[in-house]
Structure 1
């Protein structure tokens, strides 16, 4: 919310200042005017995802996970390219399920901290332990530990593409009707085909 108000507020303030200064001063402020517009609209696009994350957090409790596998390249079992985390399947702990950062907005911070050849240990330590809420078969929220590890920060929504895209065939990964109901209440869509098929 601070960003949503701060960027246009700064834009208006500089515009007011520029009306009382020589014309050439406007050109000095021009980078901020352009970037301020970008950041303002970027903040607006975050709101729908914030509401989705809130819905997930109402349905699933936080878990603190240590040593969650992650990577910067394509996961061999993921349908999408991108940086990823790998979680245990709740129905089969021996099976691993990748969750890819499909939406790249706000993912740069995470990209610098996931396992990769150039990842520095102190950066990786900033996401240990990982805060996780959700079901990796459908959708979840991840967060980094806050100061002293007491509260989560840097919230990010991760999901399997079929949870929001009806063009993708969903996969159950052994989900029970109760699991599907939880995922539906958390905001996952397109679960009818799974609920009608044998588990």
Structure 2
């Protein structure tokens, strides 16, 4: 959140500063600054969109503790049986450890860094190791936060919110994956929407 505020102020400040300079310089200087004006405005708007997700991330982290997971399967493209295409992580079902649940990167903004480090023949040697072990806080049946290990394996970085689409899109019927009422209530406390506290029978 702090870095996002710094970025927001920096892009806006640079835009305003160059605009001020251009008013006291020849007209051709404006054209020199034009690439920054366009890109700076884009980055400023991009930074603004991060705040709602940062607050959602904070809510998830207040509800769930960090877990440090080793060897979490990941990949590119469509996960078999998943509703959405995209890069994904595969987690164990908390209620049925023998079952696997995918969490897909539905929100692609800020996911390029992760894209380059997922399990794939195209992944450069050494990059996959940058997200091993994986930090995870949440419940894969609903939502969670993934992060890469920081320096020395501490202070997770590159935090990203993952979620099952029905929790934030009323057009879909939520799936509780056999979760009990306590797990459903915890997910609602973490920010999940459209969930009934009455658990659905597992398939």
TM-score normalised over the length of structure 1? 0.96
- Indicate if the aligned counterparts of 1:88 and 1:94 stay in contact, CA closer than 8 A: yes
The equivalent of 2:165 in structure 1 is: 161
The equivalent of 1:42 in structure 2 is: 46
Q: How does 1:43-58 map to 2 (within 5 A)?
A: 43-58=47-62
Q: CA RMSD in A?
A: 1.2
Q: 2:97 aligns to what SS in structure 1?
A: strand
The equivalent of 1:5 in structure 2 is: 9
d(CA) in 2 for partners of 1:142 and 1:186?
15
> Of 33, 36, 42, which residue of structure 2 is paired with 1:32?
36
Could you tell me how far 1:55 is from its partner in structure 2? 0.4
Could you tell me how far 1:196 is from its partner in structure 2? 5.7
d(CA) in 1 for partners of 2:80 and 2:199?
29
d(CA) in 2 for partners of 1:10 and 1:149?
35
Query: Is residue 2:96 matched to residue 1:92?
Result: yes
d(CA) in 1 for partners of 2:199 and 2:136?
29
> Of 91, 98, 119, which residue of structure 2 is paired with 1:115?
119
> Of 151, 168, 175, which residue of structure 1 is paired with 2:179?
175
- Indicate if the aligned counterparts of 2:179 and 2:199 stay in contact, CA closer than 8 A: no
Query: Is residue 2:13 matched to residue 1:21?
Result: no
Could you tell me how far 1:197 is from its partner in structure 2? 3.7
Aligned residues: 198
Q: 1:98 aligns to what SS in structure 2?
A: strand
- Indicate if the aligned counterparts of 1:144 and 1:154 stay in contact, CA closer than 8 A: yes
Could you tell me how far 1:198 is from its partner in structure 2? 4.1
* Bigger shift: residues 145-154 or 135-144: 145-154
- Indicate if the aligned counterparts of 1:77 and 1:98 stay in contact, CA closer than 8 A: no
Could you tell me how far 1:86 is from its partner in structure 2? 0.5
Q: 1:187 aligns to what SS in structure 2?
A: coil
- Unaligned runs of 5+ residues in structure 2 are none
